[in-house]
Amino acid sequence: MSLINTKVAPFTANAYHNGKFTTVTEADLLGKWSVFVFYPADFTFVCPTELGDLADNYATFQKLGVEIYSVSTDTHFTHKAWHDTSDTIEKITYPMLADPTGKITRAFDVMIEEEGLALRGTFVINPEGDIKLCEIHDNGIGRDATELLRKVQAAQYVAAHPGEACPAKWTPGAETLTPSFDLVGKI
């Protein structure tokens, strides 16, 4: 069953955020766009490249009213230790959620049960708490924050313009489509 257009399941998570331990729940997602980025583990190889890329683009996401949440099955203590020892991870100012029980990871269907780790899952969530985008990668395939940003912009555009759709490679300001009977077979 697809998670698209379903509500984020209730959760409570400890997080490391801006030098402090905090708590994040599904209620914190309401009223703004959110992106959940699941990754296998702290102190690994591909993960810091992705999380650093998100940190480098975080201000742009913030300008669009989007909060980023990275999530792994590590603890919030491990997130702090990684943040304190890695030049790349030190750049992160978005919340790093801890999911040591795997409850959130399972709810988003990205748990590798035999390893207790998450697949590389990316989820865009609208201000109502509905999942609008879901991508799951093999753990050897890193993600690109600028491509994610384009997809968030497309999701926001479609939400603000009912009846329109964004074609492949759409960027803000580009032409959109208005699906109708007249377009069938014309594209």
Write out the DSSP string of 122-185.
EEEE-TTSBEEEEEEE-TTS---HHHHHHHHHHHHHHHHSTT-B--TT--TTS--B---GGGTT
Are 46 and 138 spatial neighbours (Cβ–Cβ below 8 Å)?
A: no
Class of domain 12-144: alpha beta
| Predicted model pTM | 0.95
How far is 22 from 133, CA to CA, in rounded Å?
Answer: 26
What confidence score (pLDDT) does residue 109 get?
98
Name every residue whose Cβ is closer than 8 Å to that of residue 179 and which is 6 or more positions away in sequence.
163, 165
3-state secondary structure of 47: helix
Name every residue whose Cβ is closer than 8 Å to that of residue 115 and which is 6 or more positions away in sequence.
40
Q: Residue 160 above 80 pLDDT? A: yes
**pLDDT tens profile 96-114:** 999 999 999 999 999 999 9
Residues linked to residue 36 through DSSP beta bridges, in sequence order? 69, 123
What confidence score (pLDDT) does residue 166 get?
96
Task: Summarize the chain as % helix, strand, coil (round to 5).
Answer: 30, 25, 40
Catalytic member of 3, 8, 47, 119:
47
What confidence score (pLDDT) does residue 28 get?
98
| pLDDT (mean) for 128-133 | 98
Are 99 and 41 spatial neighbours (Cβ–Cβ below 8 Å)?
A: no
47 is catalytic: yes
Residues linked to residue 131 through DSSP beta bridges, in sequence order? 125
What confidence score (pLDDT) does residue 179 get?
87
Q: Residue 52 above 90 pLDDT? A: yes
